[in-house]
Every structure is written in C-alpha cells, then in structure tokens.
C-alpha cells in the first residue's frame, strides 16, 4: 500500500476543492442568473473538460505551465521550481479538469431557485449579499454539496491529466491512481488490488454520503411542493 | 391621488399613465400578457422602465429624466407574488422576520407574531411552508409583505392558486384587513368578478396600455372603447350611426332609433360608431304584466337560441328588422320558463337607454 500516494491524492483533492468551490459558487450563480448572449459559449467552454481526452487537456495544461510559457517563466524564479512536474502544477491541472464537476451542479442549483424568491427577498429589504447568504445559499446547498463531492471524488481518481502534467515523482506528483498504474506495470497485482479497493471504497463512501444527504434535503423540499 | 405611474418600456411593452387613489384597493385587470405583472414590477422597482416617473404622494421613486431610481429594497412596498414565494427553508415566523432584518433583533419575533396573528395564522409560527395549506401560505406571504408596514401592498393574482371556497374566504379577509390597516393595495387579476368584489378603483390594461380607469361600477357600466367592452366581457358590441334625437344622444341601428347614454367624448352626428349593451340590461317585456321600461328602445325579436346554465338563461335574439344581428340577453331561468321563452318564439325586449353605451374610442 502506497500511503504516501494516497495522502498526496487526498491533499490534491482538498486543495482543488478549496480553490474550486468558492470560484464555482461565484461563477455558477452568475451563470444561473445572467442573460448574456455569450452564455452558451461560456457554458460550452466550461464543459470542455468533460468531452476532451485527458491527454489533450493535459497537453494544453503542460503548454500553459511549461518552462516556455509566460506562467512557467514567471513561476520558476519566484518559487524556485518549475510549475510543470510539481504539486502546484498538478493543482492547476486538477482545477482546470474539475471545472465542470464543480460549476454545473452549482449552476443548476441556483437556476432552480425561482426568480420570485429573489424578488421577494429584495422587497423584504435585503441587500444582494444578505439575500445570497440568508436565502439563496441555503436553497442551493444540495447542489453545492453535490459539486464538492464530485470534485473531491473525481480528483482522488484522476489519472490521465495528472500523468501528463506531473509525471510520477514520489511525494510530489505520484498520486494513488498513478501508483496503481506503476504497480500493475511492475506486475505487483496484490498492491495494485489493495490500492484499487481502497480507492473504490473511499470514492463510493464519499458519493454515498453526499448523495444521501442531498436526497434527504430533496425529499424535504419535494414534500414542500 | 397618491400613487402615480407614468412609464414606458420596450420589452415587455408598457406605456402607462395611471393614478391610483390613496388607501384604495386598486384592481389592475387585463388578459394574460397585457402587462399586469410588469406594471407591478415597475412600481416595486424590480423592473427599471426605459423612461417615465413613479411617485408616491409627490415622493419620487423613479424619474428617468433626473436619473432617480430608488432600489426596490428601499421602497416602502410589500410584494406578494402569484405563487407566494415563501422561503421554503424557513418557518412561517422566520419568513416574516426576513422582512424585519433592519429592526433590532430583539423586536423581530414579537412583530412577526403580531402580524401573523392579525392574518389569522397565529399558532402556525413554527411550521414550514410545506406544512401549510394554500390559504395559510397566502396569509403568511401577506403577513411577510405587511411586516415592514409598507405604504403600498402589491399583490400579483393572490387568489389564483387556491380553490374557489378558499378564494372567497381570503377575499373577504383581505377586504377586512384593508378596512383595518387602510394601506393602498394594488391587486393584479384577470377575474372581473374578483376585481368588482374587492376594488374601489379599477384599471383596465391591454397590450401594456391603460384602456380605462375609475370606480368599478362606472367602468363596467360605461366602457369607452371596444377593447374595454370586450375586457369587461360585454358580448353585445354592434355598429351604428351616432344620431342625436331632440338634443339627446341617440343611435341609428339599421331601422331602429335607440336613445343612449352620453358618449364619454363628443362624437360628430352621422359618424359610424360602435356601441354596446350588457346582456343583463336587455329587459324582457313580460307577458304577465307590463314593464315600466316598456317605452325604452323597444325591439321585437325572434328567439334564436336558449342556453340554460344553472340558474341563468342565456337567450340569443334576432331583431325582426335586423335578422343578421344577434343580441344576448341574460335572465333568470325561472323568468324564461314563466314567459315561455322558447326557440323560434317571438319576444319584445327593451334596450335600456342608460345601458346603451356608444364607444367613441
């Protein structure tokens, strides 16, 4: 069992979630209420990671953060290491790859709130911020939770993009999914099986807990109608 | 006059010029898509019109020329949308307290309980919206809208989501509440009966424009245009020539000379004009005893069709001298039976001159 790789995967999933969740709430809420004519383009761009092969996405991320890129050239002297093939590079890749998993459930949740609810909150004297925290956020909570679960679980198991951008440096970029791949390449099926089972259980539990709680709230709301 | 709305807006289209009396229940009546809800939204500040002014007793809420636009949250209004929009994750009391966030926290609960009790939903404070009936939800929504002591209460079809008996009860309660608090209420509806029962001022809206406004009885009795007459469900709308008789207003309808109400604005003699008469104001000359209206615009007719709907008989008549025209008369089923009103039978009716209304617009 490669505990180091498992710990790295969990760290990557947590950092990705911490970055994507606030951004997802802001962008998802904005997309839910905006009437801009560019909305279909924006939605399509944010959904791209769902349809692009991980290698294509990984390649572009590598170009984006590589030593020849603007970001890569700025990052290296400031932090004393390259962005590609580092944990920070993995975070960038993971954030980009998880955008649709974070934003889409949140956008749907905010879309489901009737405009009448927002109007009433305004007419009750609430500022937009107060209306958001007291009314919209609690109502969109199941979608936000669902987005968190999907982002976390998806990052825990991500393989292609991580391999392209991070390689397989133990303690730095070698996540549990890559460790399983390495064990299989080395014909160590016992270790690969153990880690696969553990990853399966963690992913399943995460999703079951998330879905269970979301369903509980949805059931309460269904009765409300 | 207290609430003045003079605004134009392109989409959805509005071209409004309306004044609403203080402390009144104002009914804004119109078909679907006539701009009723948009009108309320413009008053509330939820829609910013392209141009115009909205004022309450001289206090400007919106003035495009002076770039004044008081945000909805600062306007002294209460808003009750069509589906009530109670916050589903909050109890009835917390819903009402949501409108009191600018008050000290120690006062909110007491105010909320007082308003809920006033709306006859005291005791339901801890219930969530899904635990309330449609009528109770409506009361909580009104309580929430009233908690801030608004100057104007805006209600968007507030009785459309409840059954008939609950609607009647809630209408009576709203009327009683209005007598207590005297807040100006603007009520949007497409139900003429509801508007007549509740309102002391009626505004007819069509395609974003005010067709007519005034006291409900006056508007219903004297529509000024064909569109207004249609909106008031007057089915007898016909064409005639305006022809005063002995200085009194009159119409030449085929061979008939009809005396009529004075038109709402001057019409040149000899001009073709539409006119209307409410089906309830065509009076049957009874066979059992003469009517005191017998001399008013008598018309001999043949009964074309009799339709009995509950206690009411709808009788379609063809005037003998104008067989291509039809007039609808509504009488009680009992009266129709007693006078043997049958298809193809002959009857004489009077078109009450006070109800014969020229439609100059």
For residues A152 and B35, give the distance between their C-alpha atoms in angstroms, rounded to a whole number: 47
Name the maximum alpha-carbon separation found in chain A. Answer: 67
Closest CA relative to residue B119, chosen from B99, B95, B98, B147:
B147
Compare CB distances from A224 to B128, B144, B145 and report the shortest one's residue: B128
For residues B333 and A177, give the distance between their C-alpha atoms in angstroms, rounded to a whole number: 84
Q: Which residue reads 């404070």 in tokens? A: B125
Residue B265 confidence class, pLDDT cut points 50, 70, 90 = confident
User: Which tokens belong to B307?
Assistant: 């339709």
Q: Hey, of B41, B48, B85, which one would you mutate to test binding to chain A, going by the most A CBs within 10 A of its CB? A: B85
Q: Hey, of A123, A137, A140, which one would you mutate to test binding to chain B, going by the most B CBs within 10 A of its CB? A: A123
Closest CA relative to residue B16, chosen from B25, B43, B24:
B43
Judge: B83–A139 Cβ closer than 8 Å, yes or no: no
Q: Under a CB-based contact definition with an 8 Å cutoff, are residues B70 and B61 in contact?
A: yes
ipTM: 0.83
For residues A60 and A167, give the distance between their C-alpha atoms in angstroms, rounded to a whole number: 15
Q: Nearest CA to CA, how far is A108 from chain B (Å)?
A: 18
Give the residue-averaged pLDDT of B97-116.
92
Give the residue-averaged pLDDT of B333-355.
90
Q: Tell me which of B349 and B247 has the higher pLDDT.
A: B349
Residue of A nearest to B47 (CA): A119
Judge: A117–B87 Cβ closer than 8 Å, yes or no: yes
pLDDT score at B52: 92
Chain B residues whose beta carbon lies within 8 Å of the beta carbon of residue A134:
98, 101
Q: Nearest CA to CA, how far is B97 from chain A (Å)?
A: 9
For residues A36 and B142, give the distance between their C-alpha atoms in angstroms, rounded to a whole number: 34
DSSP string, A165-201: HH---TTTT--HHHHHHHHHHTT-HHHHHHHHHHHHH
pLDDT score at A176: 81
Statement: residue B299 has pLDDT above 70: yes
pTM reported for the whole predicted model: 0.82
pLDDT score at A107: 95
> What crossing angle do the helices spanning A3-33 and A87-111 adopt, rounded to 10°?
40
Q: Under a CB-based contact definition with an 8 Å cutoff, are residues A43 and A108 in contact?
A: no
Statement: residue A89 has pLDDT above 90: no
* Measured CA angle at B154 (ends B52, B63), to 5 deg: 15
Residue B291 confidence class, pLDDT cut points 50, 70, 90 = low
For residues A176 and A179, give the distance between their C-alpha atoms in angstroms, rounded to a whole number: 5
Residues 6+ apart with CB under 8 A from A96: A49, A57, A61
Residue A17: alpha-carbon gap to chain centroid: 6
Judge: A124–B144 Cβ closer than 8 Å, yes or no: yes
Give the residue-averaged pLDDT of A12-18.
94
Judge: A225–B81 Cβ closer than 8 Å, yes or no: no
A160-217 tens-digit pLDDT: 888 888 777 777 788 888 888 888 888 989 888 988 998 899 889 988 988 888 788 7
Chain B residues whose beta carbon lies within 8 Å of the beta carbon of residue A126:
73, 98, 101
Q: Nearest CA to CA, how far is A20 from chain B (Å)?
A: 26
Eight-state DSSP code of residue A136: I
Q: Tell me which of B58 and B287 has the higher pLDDT.
A: B58
Order the strands of the B209-214 sheet from edge to edge: B68-69, B59-63, B51-56, B3-9, B14-20, B209-214, B201-206, B25-29, B184-189, B152-156, B77-80
pLDDT score at B167: 85
Q: Under a CB-based contact definition with an 8 Å cutoff, are residues B280 and B330 in contact?
A: yes
pLDDT score at A78: 81
Statement: residue B287 has pLDDT above 70: no
Q: Nearest CA to CA, how far is A104 from chain B (Å)?
A: 23
- Give me the total of CB pairs closer than 8 Å, taking one residue from chain A and one from chain B: 69
B190-217 tens-digit pLDDT: 888 889 889 999 999 999 999 999 999 8
User: Which tokens belong to B232?
Assistant: 């008031």
Give the residue-averaged pLDDT of B259-275.
90
Give the residue-averaged pLDDT of A87-111.
92
Q: Under a CB-based contact definition with an 8 Å cutoff, are residues B311 and B332 in contact?
A: yes
Residue of A nearest to B77 (CA): A123
Statement: residue B289 has pLDDT above 70: no
Q: Hey, of B47, B83, B87, which one would you mutate to test binding to chain A, going by the most A CBs within 10 A of its CB? A: B87
Give the residue-averaged pLDDT of B7-36.
90
Give the residue-averaged pLDDT of B76-87.
93
Buried b (16+ CB within 10 A) or exposed e, A163-177: bbbbbbeeebbbbbb
Indicate the average pLDDT of chain B.
90
Statement: residue B288 has pLDDT above 80: no
Residue B156 confidence class, pLDDT cut points 50, 70, 90 = very high
Q: Nearest CA to CA, how far is B192 from chain A (Å)?
A: 25
Residue A157 confidence class, pLDDT cut points 50, 70, 90 = confident
H or E stretch including B110?
Answer: helix B105-118
Three-state DSSP state, A88: helix
B154 burial level (CB within 10 Å; 0-12, 13-18, 19+): buried
> What crossing angle do the helices spanning A176-185 and A3-33 adopt, rounded to 10°?
130
Judge: A121–B98 Cβ closer than 8 Å, yes or no: yes
Residue of A nearest to B90 (CA): A135
Residue B66 confidence class, pLDDT cut points 50, 70, 90 = very high
pLDDT score at B293: 59
pLDDT score at B359: 92
């Amino acid at each position: 069992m490669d505990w180091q790789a498992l710990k790295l995967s969990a760290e990557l999933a947590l950092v990705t979630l911490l970055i994507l969740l606030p951004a997802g709430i802001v962008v998802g809420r904005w997309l839910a209420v905006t009437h801009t004519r560019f909305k279909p383009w924006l939605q399509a761009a944010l959904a791209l990671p769902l349809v692009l092969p991980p290698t294509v996405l990984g390649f572009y991320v590598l170009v984006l953060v590589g030593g020849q890129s603007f970001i890569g050239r700025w990052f290296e002297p400031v932090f004393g290491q390259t962005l590609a093939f580092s944990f920070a590079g993995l975070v960038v890749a993971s954030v980009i790859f998880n955008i649709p998993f974070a934003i889409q459930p949140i956008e749907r949740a905010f879309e489901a709130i009737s405009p009448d609810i927002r109007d009433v909150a305004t007419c009750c004297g609430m500022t937009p911020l107060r209306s958001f925290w007291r009314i919209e956020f609690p109502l969109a909570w199941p979608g936000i939770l669902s987005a968190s679960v999907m982002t976390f679980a998806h990052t825990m198991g991500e393989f292609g993009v991580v391999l392209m951008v991070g390689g397989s440096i133990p303690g730095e970029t070698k996540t549990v999914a890559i460790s399983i791949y390495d064990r299989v390449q080395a014909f160590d099926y016992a270790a690969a099986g153990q880690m696969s089972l553990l990853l399966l259980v963690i992913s399943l539990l995460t999703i079951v807990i998330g879905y269970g709680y979301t369903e509980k709230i949805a059931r309460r709301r269904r009765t409300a109608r | 006059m207290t609430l003045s709305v003079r605004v134009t807006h392109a989409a959805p289209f509005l071209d409004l010029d309306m004044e609403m009396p203080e402390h009144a229940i104002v009914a804004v009546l119109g078909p679907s898509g006539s701009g009723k809800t948009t009108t309320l939204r413009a008053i509330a500040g939820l829609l910013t019109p392209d141009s115009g002014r909205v004022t309450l007793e001289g206090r400007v809420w919106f003035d495009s020329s002076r770039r004044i636009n008081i945000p909805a949250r600062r306007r002294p209004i209460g808003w009750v949308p069509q589906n009530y929009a109670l916050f589903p994750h909050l109890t009835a009391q917390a819903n009402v307290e949501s409108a009191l966030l600018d008050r000290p926290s120690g006062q909110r609960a007491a105010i909320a309980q007082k308003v809920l009790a006033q709306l006859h939903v005291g005791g339901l404070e801890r219930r969530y919206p899904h635990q309330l009936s449609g009528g109770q939800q409506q009361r909580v929504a009104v309580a929430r809208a009233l908690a801030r002591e608004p100057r104007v209460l805006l209600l968007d079809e507030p009785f459309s989501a409840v059954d008939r008996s609950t609607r009647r009860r809630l209408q009576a309660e709203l009327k009683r509440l209005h007598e207590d608090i005297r807040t100006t209420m603007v009520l949007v509806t497409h139900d003429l009966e509801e508007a007549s029962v509740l309102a002391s001022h009626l505004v007819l809206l069509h395609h974003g424009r005010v067709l007519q406004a005034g006291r409900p009885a006056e508007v219903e009795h004297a529509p000024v245009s064909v569109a207004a007459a249609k909106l008031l469900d007057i089915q007898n709308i016909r064409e005639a020539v305006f022809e005063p008789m002995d200085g009194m207003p009159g119409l030449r309808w085929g061979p008939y000379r009809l005396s009529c109400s004075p038109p709402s604005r001057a019409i040149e003699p000899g001009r073709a004009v539409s006119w209307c008469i409410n089906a309830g104001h065509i009076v049957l000359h009874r066979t059992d005893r003469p009517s005191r209206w017998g001399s008013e615009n008598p018309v001999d007719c043949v009964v074309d069709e009799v339709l009995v709907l509950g206690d009411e008989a709808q009788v379609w008549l063809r005037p003998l001298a104008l067989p291509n025209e039809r007039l609808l008369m509504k009488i009680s089923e009992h009266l129709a039976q007693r006078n043997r009103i049958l298809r193809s039978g002959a009857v004489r009716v009077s078109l009450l001159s006070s109800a014969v209304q020229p439609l100059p617009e």
